[in-house]
Structure 1
Amino acid sequence: MSCSLTQSCFRQLARSPLRQGPLPVFLAPAFSHPLRTQPFSSTSPAQSRVGGAAISIPREVSLKFVDLPQPRVKKLGVDIPKTAIEVKGPLGELTLNVPSFMTVEHDEALQKATLSVEDTTITHQRAMWGTMRAHLQNYITGVSEGHICILSMVGVGYRATIESTATTVEAEYPGQQFVSLKVGYSHPIELGIPKGVKASTPQPTRILLESVNKDVVTKFAAEIREWRKPEPYKGKGIFVNGETIKLKDKKIR
């Protein structure tokens, strides 16, 4: 029964000629005050805790704001960035496009960067607030310290090598190297290392990937993991960055 229907029933009961005596005490608030409709959540929209946090910038990292050219014809519903941030450090340089509804303030004296959005009540802007803050933090960490992914290969005969040439795939750019995997397949598995990623094998069962771009290095690590995902019965597979898996009991029929 809806709230409006319940309120009308109470009022009809109060005006009913069959009712004798005064109104019961527990029904008095229903007739003295109008019935209020409350939302399921009583909390008001708050600012993003992640997006509003300031980012510490190392002294060896510099930020440069660049205005982007705007197209003459804009597509409806498509946000076109107006500003880009060039993040430069000792390990390289990355460029991040900032949405038009977002503002980045850089305090050079305090070595801090703060992000803000135009309207915090819009869901898309609140969602992109924390996302863009995380991207900028990853870019700053990448050009100053770098990002790494360590892949561990668990299984009998599993090993990997870094080769300068490949027989099954073609090079995408001059000097490209390839990761050669032996993980139980009858055919060779050769994966081209993306540009900007450095790969090495400190051990035959370990692959070390390094890059200034976190998105590129983690995506390449996921592509390698796809060839032998960790399985829960024998614990074999390719594990990324200390990944663990809970073993299951063997199926006995």
Structure 2
Amino acid sequence: MSRIGKKPVELPSGVTATLSGQTIEVKGPKATQSFTATDDVTIAIEDNAVTVTPRGKSKRARQQWGMSRTMVANMVKGVTDGFKKELEINGVGYRAQIQGNTLKLSLGYSHDVDFDVPQGVTVTCPKQTEIVIEGDDPQLVGQVAANIREWRAPEPYKGKGIKYKDEYIFRKEGKKK
């Protein structure tokens, strides 16, 4: 039994869900999202909550059960609160600034890195060493954060680079004489 799949997804006030076949569409104050579940699960909307149940006892049906419920829960959270990732930039001369729909990064290369922000995500720079990525799709927010971090991942000796705000960088000791 899936512990995650058994829980119904509560719909907060201001959020509506409509079901047509295997496709569920969730509308909220921030956005509208839809998800098409496989034929291995049944989705039902009852008493202002969405429930997901497996259609059989096969391994695939049990796998899709928990995953489908999590996808619906992420859609509900995305259209109400949204998702957010925060990045920090450490290093002398490393900085970021937003210009229109482009994030300009100075990361010690001979040129500035221009990162085009995709649709569905907003990127802000409250300080020159902080980047905040927000959106209603957790996969897209995480992927954009990973793509930005990829330009200069933190190194273990001085900790220079782009890291997640809550990330711990394991530090190494330098060369000894």
TM-score, length-scaled by structure 2: 0.94
Structure having the higher strand fraction is 2
Distance 1:145 1:223 in 2: 23
2:149 pairs with 202, 212, 225, which one? 225
Identity of aligned residues (%): 35
Distance 2:84 2:59 in 1: 33
Is 1:102 paired with 2:41?
Answer: yes
* SS state at 2:98 partner: strand
Distance 2:76 2:90 in 1: 33
* SS state at 1:250 partner: coil
Q: Match for residue 192 of structure 1?
A: 116
Distance 1:183 1:123 in 2: 47
Is 1:114 paired with 2:51?
Answer: yes
The number of residues matched between the two structures is: 177
The AA in structure 2 aligned to 1:222 is: A
Is 1:242 paired with 2:161?
Answer: no
Distance 2:55 2:175 in 1: 56
Distance 2:9 2:19 in 1: 16
Q: Match for residue 63 of structure 1?
A: 17
Structure with larger Rg:
1
Q: Match for residue 87 of structure 1?
A: 26
Task: Give the conservation status (yes or no) of the 8 Å contact 2:19–2:45.
Answer: no
Distance 1:203 1:240 in 2: 15
| Greater relative contact order, per chain length (Cα 8 Å cut-off, separation 6+) | 2
Q: Which runs of 5+ in 1 are unaligned?
A: 1-46, 68-82, 165-176
The AA in structure 2 aligned to 1:117 is: P
In the TM superposition, what is the alpha-carbon distance from 1:182 to its structure 2 partner? 0.7
Q: Deviations over 1:65-116 (max 9, x none)?
A: 123xxxxxxxxxxxxxxx2111100001011111111111212x3x222111
TM-score, length-scaled by structure 1: 0.67
* SS state at 2:34 partner: strand
In the TM superposition, what is the alpha-carbon distance from 1:179 to its structure 2 partner? 0.8
Distance 2:4 2:175 in 1: 45
Q: Match for residue 13 of structure 1?
A: none
Distance 2:67 2:108 in 1: 39
Q: Which runs of 5+ in 2 are unaligned?
A: none
RMSD: 1.4
Distance 1:226 1:237 in 2: 9
Residues 63/241 of structure 1: CA separation in 2 closer, same or farther (3 Å cut): farther
Distance 1:61 1:98 in 2: 20
